[in-house]
Structure 1
Amino acid sequence: MTSNLSWDLCRTFLAVLTEGSLSGAARALDMTQPTAGRHIAALEAALGQTLFTRSQTGLLPTDAALALRPHAHAMQHTALAFERAAASHGGGVRGVVRLSASEVVGVEVLPPILTGLRRAHPELTIELVPTNRIQDLLHREVDIAVRMAAPQQEALIARRIGVIDVGLHARDDYLARHGTPSSLAELARHTVIGFDKLTPFLREATRSVPAWSRDAFGFRADSDLAQLAMIRAGYGIGGCQVPLARRDTRLVRVLPSAFRFRLTTWVTMHEDLRTSARCKVTFDALVAGLTAYMAG
């Protein structure tokens, strides 16, 4: 086995894994199909392993390919971080910062914060990953992450911003038609908006609220944005961040003393980026903007 594997070969390997065919990988990487085929053949020869087998539906990864996938992803994240660092070389605040946040924070809370940041630093480019999956900062999936849990990894800079309350809300016309519940038990006669799949986080968060269960929901979605859209449409009662609900005069909080989730919020980044001007100004802008959001 060679110790000098080309990143181009691994990049093609990842593309074939994702697309399921040489032709799909070639389109994704803007290369010819024969070139993609040569890359896979060269990688298999270098590793002494068969990575894909042909089937009627395309190329199927072997066990060896599946075992190599996380390592290839780590290489990909490192290569992209390398590109972001190279693009920021020079005086002033410039280059690319890749950051992640939950769906709701990324779409509903960060836009005005990032707009102000861009106005102050017009040579700064932001790549936003709105996801409820925790991105790996140590392997440079992102440069900065807004997290709703205390970071467990070492070698991170972390700033605790505070706690975001999540409460039950409904639009005013829904409550006018169906009444306002006075207890959790009364939710049984209401249309409740909630999750589809029970995750470990949701299991822990809802442990003290037995009435908050999948079977009780009249609308189910694992997308927090979809749930928020249905609350705003007047479909029923669902969970919404309290500071966000305050921005909409038609949203009314119900059962505030009986139902509340608390999201402890952190801004985190890898400690190696503390001297990066692009990451420092972004980190500081997120801390200031999220602090103001919670206060509002």
Structure 2
Amino acid sequence: MNSTSATLDWNHVRAFLATAEHGSLSAAARKLGQTQPTLSRQVAALESRLGILLFERVGRRLQMTNGGRELLAQTRIMGDAADRLALAALGQSQSISGEISITASDVFSAFLLPPVLHRLRGLAPHLKINVVADNDIRDILKREADIAIRHSRPTQPDLIARLVRQATAHFYASSGYLKLHGRPKTLADMGEHDFVSIGSPQQMLDFMLPLGLPLDEGNFPVGSQNGIVAWELVKQDFGIMIMADEVAALTTGIERVLPQMEPVEFPVWLVTHRELHTSRRIRLVFDLLAEAMGQSAA
């Protein structure tokens, strides 16, 4: 970028960045809480200011031009800096303190929350954080937690929910298990293997049978209600289990089973109560979680 960047309107840059990352004007508009025509005008204004075409329409989709791809790297740096500045200002200048409770599944709490909590501690060192690792849905309205990370959208009208991303999962097993029992090549082959269950075998069957896996309760000889324990059983060669790809990527000695299989997608919702509008500490943690979980999807 040249000296022109010093006079760019940040709203126009942010509109371009959101459109590039979400792949459409409509999705970007939802992300920024704007109308699609407003966002389109902002992107067009940036193109006019720079004198280059950033997107071109291919069929019904937008595709970035070479100029857009070159600009994207720079705007991501700008966007990260802006997010860090806003969060740092909120966390430090307003002396955030007190206690906040975050609830998420045991697997999410153990594997994916710690990096976010390190950053939160740096922004608000006086804040006390309680992580409630629970696979059951906690009742936000009854203040069993301040913020919840869920995989379904809550229906209560008094809650604030933000869809931060669509996560993906595949089937995984340890290299030791696959070496001993063979690597399945088709869905039909999966019926000859052991699986590790999270919860009851019937719960797992209710989830897996629609995916086309020819399984019955006999395929689940071992399992646990605790997701961390179940994942450890997979690591110890007990069988195959479905797991979020980002968790599997953090685990050594694990291989994806049926790598050609389409991923299983599931939403990640961030949920809190309406105190978000008045509590600085809840706003800080909510925004940080939304930013961090959104970035991890990229």
TM range (shorter): 0.5 to 0.7
Given that residues 146 and 266 in structure 1 are in contact (C-alpha distance below 8 angstroms), is that contact kept between their aligned partners in structure 2? yes
1:112 maps to which residue? 115
Q: CA deviation at 1:245?
A: 0.9
Alignment of 1:85-124 (within 5 A): 91-124=94-127
Partner Cα separation in structure 1 for residue 213 and residue 190 of structure 2: 11
Any stretches of 5+ residues in structure 1 without a counterpart?
A: 1-89
SS of 1:142 mapped into structure 2: coil
Segment of structure 1 superposing worse, 203-212 or 127-136: 203-212
1:230 maps to which residue? 233
Change (3 A) 1:205 1:174: closer
2:283 maps to which residue? 280
Q: CA deviation at 1:293?
A: 2.8
1:175 maps to which residue? 178
2:149 maps to which residue? 146
Q: CA deviation at 1:172?
A: 1.9
1:136 maps to which residue? 139
Segment of structure 1 superposing worse, 121-130 or 204-213: 204-213
Partner Cα separation in structure 2 for residue 196 and residue 111 of structure 1: 24
Partner Cα separation in structure 1 for residue 169 and residue 257 of structure 2: 11
Residue 269, structure 1, aligned to residue 272, structure 2: yes
Given that residues 169 and 254 in structure 1 are in contact (C-alpha distance below 8 angstroms), is that contact kept between their aligned partners in structure 2? yes
TM-score in terms of structure 1 length: 0.63
Given that residues 156 and 271 in structure 1 are in contact (C-alpha distance below 8 angstroms), is that contact kept between their aligned partners in structure 2? yes
Q: CA deviation at 1:200?
A: 6.6
Q: CA deviation at 1:270?
A: 0.5
- Residue identity in the other structure for 1:228: W
Question: What percentage of residue pairs aligned between the two structures are identical?
Answer: 29
Q: How many residues are paired up? A: 206
Partner Cα separation in structure 1 for residue 178 and residue 227 of structure 2: 21
1:32 maps to which residue? none
- Residue identity in the other structure for 1:135: R
Partner Cα separation in structure 1 for residue 282 and residue 215 of structure 2: 40
Segment of structure 1 superposing worse, 254-263 or 269-278: 254-263
Q: CA deviation at 1:125?
A: 0.7
Q: CA deviation at 1:198?
A: 5.5
2:253 maps to which residue? 250
Partner Cα separation in structure 2 for residue 169 and residue 204 of structure 1: 16
TM-score in terms of structure 2 length: 0.63
Q: Deviations over 1:70-105 (max 9, x none)?
A: xxxxxxxxxxxxxxxxxxxx9521111111101111
Any stretches of 5+ residues in structure 2 without a counterpart?
A: 1-92
Rg larger in structure: 1
2:206 maps to which residue? 203
